[in-house]
Structure 1
Amino acid sequence: MLDQKLYILMISVHGLIRGHDMELGHDADTGGQITYVVELARALGRNSNIAQVDLLTRQIEDSKISPDYATHIEKLGPNAQIVRLPCGPRKYLRKELLWPHLDQMVDRCLHYLRQQGRLPDLIHTHYADAGYVGLHLSNLLGIPQIHTGHSLGRPKRERLLAAGRKEQTIERQFNLSQRIAAEEETLVHASLIVTSTSQEIEDQYGMYKNTDPRHCRVIPPGTDTSRFSPPGRKLIDPNTQTGVDRFLSNPKKPMILAISRPDTRKNLDGLIEAYGSDQSLQDIANLVIVAGSREDIRMMETSQREVMNDLLLDIDRYDLWGKVAIPKHFTAEDIPELYRLAVRRRGIFINPALTEPFGLTLIEAAASGLPIIAPEDGGPRDIIANCRNGLLVNTLNHTEIANALKEALSDRKRWRDWSRNGITNVRRHYTWDAHVTKYVREVNKLLRKARKRLRRQSAATLYPDWAPIPLARKIIISDIDNTLLGDEQGLAELLQWLRAHADTVSFGVATGRSLESAVKILKKWHVPMPDVLITSVGSEINYWPSLRPDQGWSNHIRHQWRREALAEALQAIPGLTLQPPENQREFKLSYLVAPEQMPPLEQLYQYLHQQNLHAKLIYSHETFLDVLPTRASKGLAVRYLAYKWGLSLQNFLIAGDSGNDEEMLVGDTLGVVVGNHSPELEPLRGLEQMYFASNTYARGILEGLEHYNFAQ
C-alpha cells in the first residue's frame, strides 16, 4: 500500500562512513559521497513518509582507524541508522580491492533483512560496488533498485587516457573493466537512476550502451544549512583561524579557498601553477588549500603522497612561502568555519577539478555566502545558473584560472551580490528537504508502476502464494519429475497445503532439468512458480520472479571447472553419448549412458584425476550421467541456500525419488522419499531424519509433512 510508510535500504560499501566527525579526505574513497549518503539518510529519516532508513556499509576492525567503524549499529537521527556488516577481511581496504568480497556482502545483507521481519520497499545503491550488491539483492528479493553513480568508470578511464596514462597501468590500479561491467549491468536492471545534473545524464551516462534516459531523474543533492551559513556577527573559531594564519605573512588579505581530496583529478597542481605564475594575484590574495588531514605525508597512500609531494615542491618552485597555507588537521566539523573565515576576508571559493559531476563543496560555500569559481563542466554549470554567485572557467588552462580569480576579487559590489545570491538560491534549490520531497515523489511513482506490473504478471502467469524466502521460517524443496508431478489430485492438495501455510513456509524445486524446461513443465501442470529453482542438477540457482541467477553460487562453483577440457577427455569413454545441446549448460555436461559399456564411476574419477581434471559425476536412473563442478550438486545448493538465507538445515524439508536427489536428502535436512522412488534410494532407508512415504508423488510429500509435523 502506498499509504504505508516506506522502509528504504541504502547501500554504500566503501570508504569510512560514520555520522559524526567524518574523516573527509582520509583517502580517495572518503569524500563527497560519504557526506551525500549520510545526509540523505538523515533527511529521509525526518520525512513523514518514511518509516525506516538503513544505510548499509562495511564493518571495519582495524587498529589504524577509529573503533567507530566496527560498531554494528549507529543512530543517525529519527528513523535512520548506519548498519555495518562484515565483508571480507576485517581491515580497511580501498574500493578497488573489495570486488572479490561483494558476494559475501549480498549474503550478509540477506541475513540482516531476515532479522528485520519486513523487507525494504526499495534498495538505493551508491557507486558501482554497491550497485553490484544491490542488483543481486533486488533480483533475489524482487525489490526495485534505485542507483546513484557518484562517479563513473568510463569517463574516468577516458580522462586518465587523455592525461597520458597507459591502459594497462590504469586497469592494474583501478580495475576499471570490472567496475564498468558492473555499471552496465546495474543500468540494465535499475528502475531509476538518480543524477545531480542533466549534463551527467547526457555526457557521462551517455557513454554507456545500457543507459536509458527515461529511467534517469535529476534530483540535486542538498546541503545542511544549519551547518553552512554566513558568519554574521558570530566570532570565527580561533582554532580554525590560527590553523590557517600561522602559514601566512599577511593573513588579512582576501582568501582563495580550495577544499578537496589530494587526488590528481582535483587539479590542485593546476591551481598552484595559476597562483604561482601570476604575481598580481599573489599580491591581492592568499591561497588556502585544505586537502584532507594528515599526520605524515610519507605514510599516505601512494597516489595521495604523490599529489602532496608535488604541491609542496610547486610551492617551493614558485617561492610561495607565506602566501599559501596547506594545514594538516581539519575535520568535517571545521569546514563550515573555514568557509565563514573566507567570507569574513572577502575571499573566493574555487573548485579547480578537471571535471566535476556535481560539486557539493560549491553548494556549501554558496550557503555560507562565499562566491565560487568552478569548472565549466558537469554540475557547476547548473549550480552557477541557479545560484548566480560566481564564474565558470576552463580549469585546464592555468592562465584562465588566474584571470577568473582576479576578476572575482576585483569588484566589491559584485562580490556582495554573489554572496547574497548564493545564500538565497541555495535555500531555494539545494536543501535536503527539497531533495527528499522530490525523491519521495519519484519513489511513489516507481512503486505504483512496480505494483501494476506485479498485478499484470500475476494475472498472466502463475505467481507464488507462499512466503518469500527472506521472510519464511521453513522451506520445502522438491524434485519435479516423479516427485512433485505425476498425480494431479495429490498436487492440488499439496498446493492447498502450501497456501494454508503461506505466512511461514516458502517453496522451491531442485531438478536435473534446465531452467527453461523446469519453468515450462511447471506451467504445464499449473504450478505457481517457486521462489527458488535449483536446476541443471544443482549447477544453477535462480529466483522468481526475475529468474536471474544467483551470481554468488556461480562464482563459488566455478572453482577448478574446465568445461571444454572435460568434454574433450570424456569423448574417449565408451558408453557415453552427449545429450542434445539444449541439455548442456555452462556448468553441466550431460550424457546418455549405455550401462553395459560405461566403466564404473570409480574408474572415471581416476581417469579424470590422471588428466588433472576435477568434476563431480552424477549417475541416475541407469540412463543419465551429469558432469558438474566439484562444488555443485543439488545437495550443496540446498546447503548454500541455508547459509545465504540464514536458515537452519532442519528447517528444510527435501523431497525426492531418484539417485540425483540422494545428496540433498541426507544430512541435517528432513528427508522425504516418495513411494514411487527408484531402487537407488533404498540404502537410505532407516537413516535418521529420512522418511520413506507409502504414498506416491505429491501425496508422498504431504505424508512427509505430516510425519515431521512441519507446519509447527
Structure 2
Amino acid sequence: MNEQPIYILMLSLHGLIRSHDLELGRDADTGGQITYVVELARALGRNPGVERVDLLTRMISDPEVSSDYALLEEKLGPKVRIVRLPFGPKRYLRKELLWKHLDHLVDRCLHYLRGKEKLPDVIHTHYADAGYVGRQLSQLLGIPQVHTGHSLGRCKLQRMLDTGRKEQSLERQFNFAQRISAEEEVLSHASMIVTSTRQEAVEQYGIYKNFDMQRSIVIPPGTDASRFSPPGRRKIQDSVVQMIDRFLEEPEKPMILTICRPDARKNLQRLIAAYGEDEELQSKANLVIVAGNRDDIQTMEESQKKELSDLLFALDRYDLWGKVALPKHHQMDDVPELYRLAARRRGLFVNPALTEPFGLTLIESAASGLPIVATEDGGPRDIISNCRNGLLINPLDTESIASALKTALGNPKIWRSWARNGVNGVKRHYSWDAHVTKYLKSVSRLIHKERKRVRREHAAILHEGKSPLPLVKQALVSDIDNTLIGNQNGLNQLIAWLRENAEKIAFGIATGRNLDSAVKVLKEWRVPLPDVLITSVGSEINYGPDLRPDTGWEKHIRHQWRRDALMIALEAIPGIKLQTRENQREYKISYNVIPDMLPPLKKIYAHLRALNLHANLIYSHQAYLDVLPARASKGQAIRYLAYKWGLPLNAFLVAGDSGNDAEMMIGDTLAVIVGNHSPELKPLRGEHQVYFAEAGNALGIMEGIGNYQFGNFSGKHDRQLKHD
C-alpha cells in the first residue's frame, strides 16, 4: 500500500533519554515511557519498511545530570537517532514545568525540519506534552499525527482524588487543567491513537469527549527478548545478589519483587501494609522494593521524598527489618538479573499500582519466567488474559493483595505452570517485531488514505501533499482587495505562475478581511487556497488547506491587549464609529472613519498611553481605522512567519495597495505596490526595495515579480539571497 520506506518523527519530551544505561526510576519522569520509546524506535529502525526514525527530545545542560543529555544527536541504530533540541531553561525540569516552554519547541522543530531534505511521513507523539507540540506541527505541516498517551490526566486526577487529595493542591502540583485540555485537543486532531489494551481505549480514553474509537488501535508494547529470559543454569551476578541479600535475614526465601518509581500512584504504601499486616505472608517470602535511585532522600523532589520517607516509616511501624529490601541504587542492566533472581527463588512480581495503562515490567518479568500479581485497573487484565501467568488484585484492598500473593506462592505446581505460560505468552503476544508489523501496517494505511484525500482536494490547492512551507525558498504574500483580485486576466497569469513554482515558492494572503470573508472571496474568484492566510489586518494567522490556526501567534500578540478598556477609551475620539459586529474580532476593533473629524494618529496614541493602554492603530483607504494588539499587524505577522519558517525577510515578496499594507513593505521585504494604489502609499516611493508597478491588480504583481526576478533561482536575486 505504501511502497516507499517511511520517515517517522517521534516526540518524547520529558525525562532523560539516551541510547545506553537508561536511568529508569531516577524520578517520576524517567520510567516505562522512556523504555518504550527507545525500544520502539530501535525496532522500527530494524524494519525494511522504515527509511529513518528521529526520536526528538529535550536538550539538557545541567551539572546535575550526565553530559550525554546535552548532545545534539546520538545514534540508536543505523537508521535511528536521538535528536535533542533546546527549549526553555538549560537545566533539567520535571514535566509539569515544561508546559510554558512548549510553543518555543514548535518553532525549534520547524527550524530543524527546514534543514532536512524531506519532511517526515508521520509524527508520532508520546504523552500529553509531546502531543501538544505534535498537534501544532501536524497542523502546520499537513503531516498526520499518531499519538500514544502512556498515561492520561483525567484518570490520574480521579485516582488521586480517590485517595483523599484536594483538587486545588493537585492542580498546583500537576497542572491538570492544562494537561487535560491538551489531551482533548490531541484526541480531536490525531489521525491514530495507539493504545496498549482494549481496556485502556474503552475505560480510560473513553472518558474524554473527543475520543473516537474508530481512530484508535490496540498494539501491545514489545519486550527485548535478548535481555529478558528465565534464569536457567546461568549464574546471577554477584553484585545483584549482594544488593538484595544484605537487607535480608533469610535471603533464600521466595522474593516478592516490585520495580517502579517512588510515586504515590504506584501504591507502595498499601503493598507494605498488605505484607506488614500478614504474618503468614512474611513467613513465606521476603519483599523487595526497587524504587528508583537515591543518594539522600532529603535532597529529592518533594513528592519522591514523601513517598520514600513514608515507606521507611511503614517498615519501622510494622517492624519489617530483615524481611524487606529497599536498595538505594541499581543500574538498567541489573533489572533482568533481578527478575531472574526472583524467578530462581520461586518468587513473584507484583504491580499494585492504582492504575496501570499497560505495565511493561509485567511483560519483562513474564519473559523472565516470573509469575505476576497485578492491579486489575488497566493493562494487566489483557496481559494476564493473554499469558495466563498470574492473578489480578483490587489495588485499594490490602487483604486482596495479601491473599493473591499467598495463593500464588502456596502451590508449586501452579507456580511452574504460570512461569512457563508467561515465557510462551510473551513470545506469542509481546514481541517488538509483532508490534512493529502491526504498527507499520496501520501507519501505511493512514499515509495512503491521507494522500488520496490530498489528491481529491488538489484542484482547490496549489500544493499536493504536505505543506511546502518548511522547504520553500521564497514566499509571495498579497493583499486581496484591489491587489490580488480585480483583473481576471492578470489573476489567471499569477495563478499559473504560482502553480509552476509551487514546490519552491509559498503563496500567502494578508488582508483586512476576516477569515471567513477572505475564503469566500477567494472561492468566488477561483483563487486556490493559500498556504498561509494572514487575516483581520494581521491579527490572525491560519494555514491551508484546513485553515489551521497558528496558536503561537495568538499567544504572542495577546501581550498587553485590553480590548474592553480600549473600546471605552476610544469613545472619546471624534470621527470614528464602530463597524458592524461581524467585522469585530477578539484581537481587532474596527471603526468607520469621517476623515475630516479624525484627529492625527499621534494624538490618539498619546490619549491611549495616558491611560496605560497599548495598541497598534492602522488607518487605511481614508475610511477605516483598525485597532490591534501592539504586536499585531500584517508586517509583524510576516516577520513572525520569517522567524517561524526560517526564511530571510528578503525571501518575501509582498504586494498591496493601501495604508494597512504599508508596514509589511518597509524593511527587508521585497515590496510591490500595484498601479491602482491608494494615495496613502505615495510616501513610500523611493524607499528601499519598494517597487511601484504601472499595471494594476494582479498584473501589477506580475510586473513586480519580473522586476525582482522573483523565483529565478539561477539569477542575481538568488545569489543575493545566498550572500545575505
TM-score, normalised via structure 1 length: 0.98
For 1:455 and 1:61, the matched residues in 2 are separated by 45
Aligned to 1:189: 189
Aligned to 2:348: 348
Amino acid of the residue matched to residue 205 of structure 1? Y
Q: How does 1:204-219 map to 2 (within 5 A)?
A: 204-219=204-219
For 1:553 and 1:258, the matched residues in 2 are separated by 47
For 2:283 and 2:170, the matched residues in 1 are separated by 40
Q: What RMSD in Å do the two structures reach over aligned CA positions?
A: 1.3
Aligned to 2:235: 235
Point out the more displaced range, 670-679 or 62-71.
670-679
Aligned to 2:721: none
Q: How does 1:248-287 map to 2 (within 5 A)?
A: 248-287=248-287
Which SS does the other structure have where 1:691 is aligned? Answer: strand
For 2:377 and 2:96, the matched residues in 1 are separated by 26
Structure 1 residues 680-711: Cα deviation after superposition (integer angstroms, max 9, x where no partner): 12222222222222222212222222222222
8 Å contact kept, 2:463–2:503: no
Q: Does 1:136 align with 2:136?
A: yes
In the TM superposition, residue 451 of structure 1 has moved relative to its aligned partner by 2.1
Amino acid of the residue matched to residue 657 of structure 2? D
Structure 1 residues 107-163: Cα deviation after superposition (integer angstroms, max 9, x where no partner): 111111111121111111111111111111111011111111111111111112111
Aligned to 2:146: 146
Amino acid of the residue matched to residue 335 of structure 2? I
Aligned to 1:20: 20
Aligned to 2:37: 37
Amino acid of the residue matched to residue 666 of structure 1? I
Aligned to 1:704: 704
Structure 1 residues 127, 207: closer, same or farther in 2, change over 3 A? same
In the TM superposition, residue 462 of structure 1 has moved relative to its aligned partner by 4.4
Amino acid of the residue matched to residue 303 of structure 1? S
Q: How does 1:438-453 map to 2 (within 5 A)?
A: 438-453=438-453
Aligned to 1:520: 520
For 2:171 and 2:284, the matched residues in 1 are separated by 44
Which SS does the other structure have where 1:10 is aligned? Answer: strand
Amino acid of the residue matched to residue 315 of structure 2? I
For 1:216 and 1:544, the matched residues in 2 are separated by 26
In the TM superposition, residue 457 of structure 1 has moved relative to its aligned partner by 2.3
Q: How does 1:588-667 map to 2 (within 5 A)?
A: 588-667=588-667
For 1:449 and 1:623, the matched residues in 2 are separated by 48
Q: How does 1:295-694 map to 2 (within 5 A)?
A: 295-459=295-459, 461-464=460-463, 468-694=468-694
Structure 1 residues 465, 159: closer, same or farther in 2, change over 3 A? closer
For 1:281 and 1:491, the matched residues in 2 are separated by 84
For 2:136 and 2:461, the matched residues in 1 are separated by 23
Amino acid of the residue matched to residue 601 of structure 2? L
8 Å contact kept, 2:462–2:502: no
Structure 1 residues 431-480: Cα deviation after superposition (integer angstroms, max 9, x where no partner): 11101111111112212222222233235x34547971111011111111
For 1:225 and 1:66, the matched residues in 2 are separated by 28
In the TM superposition, residue 78 of structure 1 has moved relative to its aligned partner by 2.6
8 Å contact kept, 2:454–2:464: no
8 Å contact kept, 2:461–2:530: no
For 1:462 and 1:502, the matched residues in 2 are separated by 10
Amino acid of the residue matched to residue 84 of structure 1? R
For 2:433 and 2:282, the matched residues in 1 are separated by 41
For 2:49 and 2:691, the matched residues in 1 are separated by 50
Which SS does the other structure have where 1:56 is aligned? Answer: strand
8 Å contact kept, 1:464–1:530: no
In the TM superposition, residue 572 of structure 1 has moved relative to its aligned partner by 2.8
8 Å contact kept, 2:62–2:91: yes
Which SS does the other structure have where 1:577 is aligned? Answer: strand
For 1:572 and 1:210, the matched residues in 2 are separated by 46
The structure 1 segments of at least 4 consecutive aligned residues displaced by more than 3 Å after TM superposition are 461-467
8 Å contact kept, 1:197–1:379: yes
Amino acid of the residue matched to residue 498 of structure 1? L
8 Å contact kept, 1:464–1:529: no
8 Å contact kept, 2:25–2:261: yes
Which SS does the other structure have where 2:653 is aligned? Answer: strand
Which SS does the other structure have where 1:116 is aligned? Answer: coil
Point out the more displaced range, 247-256 or 383-392.
247-256
Which SS does the other structure have where 1:417 is aligned? Answer: helix
Q: Does 1:160 align with 2:160?
A: yes
8 Å contact kept, 2:2–2:445: no
For 2:448 and 2:357, the matched residues in 1 are separated by 30
In the TM superposition, residue 220 of structure 1 has moved relative to its aligned partner by 0.6
For 1:343 and 1:637, the matched residues in 2 are separated by 63
In the TM superposition, residue 502 of structure 1 has moved relative to its aligned partner by 2.2
For 2:146 and 2:359, the matched residues in 1 are separated by 21
Aligned to 1:244: 244
In the TM superposition, residue 17 of structure 1 has moved relative to its aligned partner by 1.1
For 2:344 and 2:122, the matched residues in 1 are separated by 44
Which SS does the other structure have where 1:184 is aligned? Answer: helix
Point out the more displaced range, 366-375 or 438-447.
438-447
8 Å contact kept, 1:343–1:369: yes
Which SS does the other structure have where 1:150 is aligned? Answer: coil
8 Å contact kept, 1:74–1:82: yes
8 Å contact kept, 1:465–1:502: no
Structure 1 residues 452, 500: closer, same or farther in 2, change over 3 A? closer
8 Å contact kept, 1:362–1:372: yes
For 2:451 and 2:648, the matched residues in 1 are separated by 32
Point out the more displaced range, 73-82 or 529-538.
73-82
Which SS does the other structure have where 2:482 is aligned? Answer: coil
In the TM superposition, residue 175 of structure 1 has moved relative to its aligned partner by 0.7
For 2:519 and 2:199, the matched residues in 1 are separated by 43
Q: How many residue pairs end up in the alignment?
A: 711
Which SS does the other structure have where 1:483 is aligned? Answer: helix
8 Å contact kept, 1:558–1:629: yes
8 Å contact kept, 1:391–1:404: yes
For 1:664 and 1:56, the matched residues in 2 are separated by 35
Q: Which runs of 5+ in 2 are unaligned?
A: 714-724
8 Å contact kept, 2:267–2:354: yes
In the TM superposition, residue 618 of structure 1 has moved relative to its aligned partner by 0.4
- Identical positions, percent: 66
8 Å contact kept, 2:258–2:351: yes
8 Å contact kept, 2:491–2:698: yes
TM-score, normalised via structure 2 length: 0.97
Which SS does the other structure have where 2:396 is aligned? Answer: coil
8 Å contact kept, 2:463–2:502: no
For 2:689 and 2:355, the matched residues in 1 are separated by 64
For 2:186 and 2:27, the matched residues in 1 are separated by 26
Amino acid of the residue matched to residue 327 of structure 2? P
